[in-house]
Amino acid sequence: MRVLLIKPYTNTPIAPLPMGLLYIGTVLKNAGYSVKIIDAHIKRWTNKKLLSKIHEINPDIIGITNMTSETLYMRRLVKEIKEQRPDCVIILGGPHISSFKRYEFENNPFVDYGVIGEGELSIIQLIRCIQEKCDPSKIKGIIFRKGDEIIETGEPEFIEDLDILPFPDFSLINIGDYFRHFGTTFNLVTATDRVYSLMYSRGCPFGCRFCHNIFGKRIRYFSADRIIEEIMYVKNHYGVKEIDFLDDTINANYKKTMALFERLIPLRRETIFAIPSGVRGDLFPDDLLNIMKEIGFFRINIAFESAVQRIINIANKNMHIEKTIENTYKLKKVSKLLGGFFMFGFPTETKSDIFKTMELMVNLPLHTATVSFVTPFPNTEFFNYALNLYSIEKIFAKLIKNDTFYSEPISLCEVSEKELMELKKVAIRRFYLQPLRIVMNIRDVPNYVSLIRNAFNVLRLSIFKNVPY
């Protein structure tokens, strides 16, 4: 069986390592399948070029990954593939199908199977089942069609001990392509062009009402040994200099975080560490901060979301904002650059609440601030809330619009969509145009070219212009 895994071309400046496809490709390759990965996004391949490659490779199965904001690209691609190769089985995996599930199947007749959430265990069983033409309804974590029916088999089987996963097989991609795409990892600003992203854990124990559930609500870990081994491997084989941790909440479990961070101290001289995916600001006991100070991080992003405790509670984030603010000043001594994540548009949030968040944002000693609108993805509690306010068609039309950073909100709050967009612009302007902030960034950012290029791209996409489709 020939399996081709694809990340479709999208018109966004961000091109991170396709970690999901790498894990899926590696387990399939290790199980004896012939596997290829094409990242049409990093290669800037149009569908025409991609289709001619597909013709050459002649796969039996094509697996595709996409985020919801990239759905229009994915849908156009699967339609074109099916028109040319009706016998080719198409499997969708990744964040979009994991949140949309049957909604995607109802709107996309060209997809045969979906793999929900963590995919390594389900994909092996699914491909074996396709090969042996058996009934897939016993495989957990998939969705498929049986005649006119759409069958969902529930949650996937989560991998308890992540160490059973093999190292990603980098021979499936050209890792150099990603290094050349300098600075466009998760991290807006990187210190070098040799950045590798990894996750120490999968899943998050917290229950924020706006958040996905890709890796489940029980947090599972790789061992610290395995993470160190992976870091050494990419350093020795690919000259990686910088590690971005992409965990949902790397500091969710004090003991586990300490166990890893203690092991990072000996590597600190020749490796740069960053946590761009966001930490919980209220979970930093002093001994953890002391170890982090010894490591000396390059960049840490703190997830504040809102300055108003009532709003944080409505989001069920269960975070203490005062403690988070207090720790921000302590984290200043731990990380060269600090960033903050903020969200506008929570249910019941008023203009005055948003101004309080804005006030906090501009007064914190942060280098960067990211403002996102609360977005009601299916299978989150806020999606059910949104259904009380809007038709499902309106919600979906906005969610799948090809708009990288959701620059047009779906308002769930007391402020109109237009006003939310205005408030975001005001916040970003007030934050970035502060003379002190400019001085701080000029002083601390080691790489202006990457900062200016990426900041421009992200601001353009998040505020000023939607990406044309």
Site for ligand SF4 in 47-66 (CB under 6 A): none
Position 201 contacts ligand SF4 (CB under 6 A): no
Pairwise CA distance, residues 119 & 121, whole Å: 6
Position 211 contacts ligand SF4 (CB under 6 A): yes
For residues 339 and 374, is the Cβ–Cβ distance under 8 A? no
329 vs 456, beta carbon nearer ligand B12: 456
Position 187 contacts ligand SF4 (CB under 6 A): no
188 vs 307, beta carbon nearer ligand B12: 188
Pairwise CA distance, residues 111 & 8, whole Å: 14
Position 112 contacts ligand SF4 (CB under 6 A): no
Candidates 249, 257, 357, 370; binder of ligand SF4 (CB under 6 A) is 249
Strand (E) positions, 257-387? Answer: 272-279, 297-305, 335-344, 368-373
From the list ligand SF4, ligand B12, none, pick the one residue 357 interacts with, judged by a Cβ distance below 5 to 8 Å according to partner type: none
Shortest distance (Å) from residue 382 CB to ligand SF4: 11
The enclosing H or E element of 399 equals helix 392-400
- Binding residues (CB under 6 A) for ligand B12: these are 5, 12, 14, 16, 19-21, 23-24, 63-65, 67-70, 91, 93-96, 98-99, 115, 118-120, 123, 186, 199, 211-212, 214-215, 246, 248, 277, 372, 375, 377, 404-406
Shortest distance (Å) from residue 317 CB to ligand SF4: 6
94: left (phi over 0), alpha (psi -120 to 50) or beta: left
From the list ligand SF4, ligand B12, none, pick the one residue 249 interacts with, judged by a Cβ distance below 5 to 8 Å according to partner type: ligand SF4
Position 362 contacts ligand SF4 (CB under 6 A): no
Shortest distance (Å) from residue 40 CB to ligand SF4: 28
**Nearest 10 degrees: CA dihedral of 112, 118, 121, 124?**
30
For residues 104 and 113, is the Cβ–Cβ distance under 8 A? no
Position 204 contacts ligand SF4 (CB under 6 A): yes
User: Which of 469, 445, 467, 386 lies closest to 183 in space, CA to CA?
Assistant: 445
Q: Where are the alpha helices (DSSP H) in 4-108?
A: 19-30, 40-43, 47-57, 71-84, 95-100, 102-107
Shortest distance (Å) from residue 256 CB to ligand SF4: 15
* Chain centroid to CA 379: 17
Pairwise CA distance, residues 9 & 25, whole Å: 19
Contact residues toward ligand SF4 (CB under 6 A) are 204, 206-208, 211, 248-249, 317
